Chains A and B, each alone.
Chain A
Amino acid sequence: GAGVSQSPRYKVAKRGQDVALRCDPISGHVSLFWYQQALGQGPEFLTYFQNEAQLDKSGLPSDRFFAERPEGSVSTLKIQRTQQEDSAVYLCASSWDRGYEQYFGPGTRLTVT
């Protein structure tokens, strides 16, 4: 079946621009996670949804980062007024429930110039 998909795969933004990154999880997966992965590093947790509820946003680095999952399926990670330090790969993962194996999408590589 279809896995987790993310779009766009690559995004170049000028500093100060807003960006929106989309995640389509595996159908039926209750849990959805966003991670930020800097070059040469492991993924860092950003936020977690159970259905449409954002239960944990402790990893969001600043109030410029905002995530939503209004219908409990597709999720969007929005970054306002992008800064160079926001350059990273943003990974989305979904799972049946929080304690189960997470399936990752291919990521969106964001470059802020």
Chain B
Amino acid sequence: GESVGLHLPTLSVQEGDNSIINCAYSNSASDYFIWYKQESGKGPQFIIDIRSNMDKRQGQRVTVLLNKTVKHLSLQIAATQPGDSAVYFCAEKVNDMRFGAGTRLTVKP
């Protein structure tokens, strides 16, 4: 079936570096995408979203890029901080939210 997935299960970066987390999706009907951050013992927390009529959206230190041609979504975190260490999920919405398996980001001081 169609699903959301991630290229890498883990990512380790040095504090201050930029991080890029990738996500592939296969449902061409998806019209809304969200990146969530989940810290240990907590529920997912909204980071940034993007609709399918956009290619790029920027927030505070975060940017989401959407490439509909290759069905690829990425989350860029600028100047990564130790507090950014968490599992990051991309999610796509057609009728309901479908989550990928997640990428664990570890920030080394």
Contact = CB atoms under 8 A, between A and B. Distances in A.
B44 A43 contact: yes
Interface string A69-100: 00000000000000000000001010000010
State the main secondary structure of chain A at its contact with B. loop
Contacts of B25: none
B101 A104 contact: no
18 contacts: A33-B97, A35-B99, A40-B101, A40-B102, A41-B101, A42-B102, A43-B44, A45-B97, A56-B95, A91-B44, A99-B32, A101-B34, A104-B44, A104-B45, A105-B43, A106-B41, A106-B43, A107-B43
Contacts of A103: 46
A104 B34 CA distance: 13
Contacts of B41: 106
Interface string B52-91: 0000000000000000000000000000000000000101
Contacts of A48: 96
B100 A93 contact: no
Contact of A44 (B42, B49, B99): B99
B71 to A, nearest CB: 17
Contacts of B97: 33, 43, 45, 102
A57 B51 CA distance: 25
B99 A101 contact: no
A45 B96 contact: yes
A56 B93 CA distance: 14
Nearest to B4: A42
Nearest to A105: B43
